[in-house]
Amino acid sequence: MAQSEHVEDVLGVELTITKGTFKTGNHGEYVVFTAIDEEGEEHEIISGAKYVLDALHDAADQGALPVQVEFYKEGNTVMLA
């Protein structure tokens, strides 16, 4: 696995998120998660986007990991489908 990527680096790529760790930094909460793309490559991705944090908190709380997602931008907001 290469160095950590930001969620903006994987926009439009179908990913399976296998695990995530929620952390608190100088600018608030963020998540570091592991995801596998369609070609089987593993990515370590960092995001502090509120919508991403909320969705991954919900998935983790419901025991729904691994979960398949695709990130996209709506204006300046990172969303996931």
What integer is the mean pLDDT of 4-28?
A: 93
Which single residue is written with the structure tokens 């986007």? 49
Question: What is the model's pLDDT at position 40?
Answer: 95
Question: What is the model's pLDDT at position 4?
Answer: 82
Q: What is the pTM of this model?
A: 0.86
Range of 66's domain?
5-80
**Above 80 in pLDDT, residue 1?**
no
As for how many domains the chain has, the answer is 1
Question: What is the model's pLDDT at position 77?
Answer: 86
Local structure of 31: helix, strand or coil? strand
Nearest to 80 by CA among 20, 2, 3: 20
The residue type found at 38 is E
Token output for 28: 């608030």
CATH number of the structural domain spanning residue 67: 2.40.50
**Above 80 in pLDDT, residue 16?**
yes
Q: Are 46 and 7 in contact (CB under 8 A)?
A: yes
Question: What is the model's pLDDT at position 76?
Answer: 86
